[in-house]
Amino acid sequence: MSQSPIVLTGDRPTGPLHLGHYVGSLRQRVTLQEQYRQFVMIADAQALTDNMGDLSKVRRNVIEVALDYLAVGLDPAKSTLFIQSQLTELAELSFYLLNLVTVARLERNPTVKEEIRLRGMERDIPAGFLTYPVSQTADITAFKAALVPVGADQAPMIEQCNELVRRFNNCVGKEILVEAQALIPDHGRLVGADGGAKMSKSLGNALALSADSAAIAAFVRSMYTDPNHLRVSDPGQVEGNVVFTYLDVFDPDKAAVEELKDHYRRGGLGDTVLKRRLTEHLEALITPIRERRAQFAQDPAEVMNILRQGTERAREAAAATMSEVKAALGLSYW
């Protein structure tokens, strides 16, 4: 009997989840939970790899991320929601996997390189940060997850994960760990309002899924458009214009967006009209999420209880893999 693939994914509790998470991964998870056994991890231990100087931020945001999960429709009866640091199995598996990767390979990971640059850590990279792709491999493989719904920035992580899986299985001469496939949505990664870097909690360019109307309006107002489009009558540029990037993602009426693009290129269409349209779409998306979130937020003890139960279920799965891993490594003695 072939078993349905297992899904694992997660987020770092470094801030409330934002629109990038929604299009990059959360939306897919809500669909996947209907069909698959899905584990969703709050990656607090991974968050510490670049936040040892701000421990309270990570601690505080665990519940915020959990609230975002529940608000977007992750259902604890269908998805196992858990906290990474509470499973020592994950740290243990990382410890063994670290022996199967070279420092040079870790330094070549393009996402890690980019993150180091954006965080200005070139001179002082914590070893834990450099090796977080290995820890992420442990998170995925401890659950034998075959599907990982993530944003485009995570593709190199899954590649590195699979290298480690092959190396591990080769090393022990058995197929113990499972290769994973990234499920990356078409839109790839959502940029921030300035159109430069990807929207990210750590870069302060994000619109939270819990944003109120004023924050949504301010976010859209600050969006980069075409700096040469000075008068409404001027022809404008659509490429690189963040408002259009967002309309492509968030406006369900694709034909209308194409017409707006033509109009904008010809001239005669102002930024204000476009921004108003985008603001309405974002309001329609975020308002129900914000309302559900406020409801769950009334009972934080219940939210923590959901996480505790999920963590217990997750531990069983990870512990089963760890016994296989240790036996395969010859590390079982009695």
Would you tell me which residues interact with ligand ATP (CB under 6 A)? 11-12, 14, 20-21, 23-25, 150-151, 153-154, 189-190, 198-202
Would you say 198 and 248 are in contact if contact means Cβ atoms under 8 Å apart? no
Query: CB of 211: closest distance to ligand ATP in angstroms?
Result: 15
Residue number, 89 or 153, with CB nearest to ligand ATP:
153
Query: CB of 4: closest distance to ligand ATP in angstroms?
Result: 21
Residue number, 10 or 236, with CB nearest to ligand ATP:
10
Record the tokens describing residue 263, joined without a space.
Answer: 């109009």
Query: CB of 326: closest distance to ligand ATP in angstroms?
Result: 29
Give the helix ranges, DSSP H, for the chain: 19-21, 27-32, 44-47, 55-72, 88-97, 103-108, 110-118, 127-130, 132-141, 155-172, 213-221, 242-250, 254-266, 271-297, 300-328
Residue number, 198 or 229, with CB nearest to ligand ATP:
198
114: exposed, middle or buried (C-beta count within 10 Å: 0-12, 13-18, 19+)? Answer: middle
Residue number, 149 or 310, with CB nearest to ligand ATP:
149
Q: How far apart are CA 171 and CA 40, in angstroms?
A: 29
Query: In this chain, which residue has its C-beta nearest to ligand ATP?
Result: 24
Q: How far apart are CA 18 and CA 208, in angstroms?
A: 4
Query: CB of 56: closest distance to ligand ATP in angstroms?
Result: 15
Residue number, 8 or 325, with CB nearest to ligand ATP:
8
Q: How far apart are CA 17 and CA 20, in angstroms?
A: 8
Residue number, 25 or 160, with CB nearest to ligand ATP:
25
Residue number, 14 or 131, with CB nearest to ligand ATP:
14
Instruction: Provide the CB-side half-sphere exposure for 5 (13 A, CA).
Output: 16
Sign of the CA dihedral with 126 first, then 131, 137, and 143 last:
negative
Selection from 262, 256, 254, 258 nearest residue 236 by Cα: 262
Q: How far apart are CA 329 and CA 208, in angstroms?
A: 44
Query: CB of 68: closest distance to ligand ATP in angstroms?
Result: 11
Query: CB of 156: closest distance to ligand ATP in angstroms?
Result: 11
Residue number, 168 or 246, with CB nearest to ligand ATP:
246
Record the tokens describing residue 67, joined without a space.
Answer: 């609230």
Query: CB of 120: closest distance to ligand ATP in angstroms?
Result: 14
Query: CB of 78: closest distance to ligand ATP in angstroms?
Result: 19
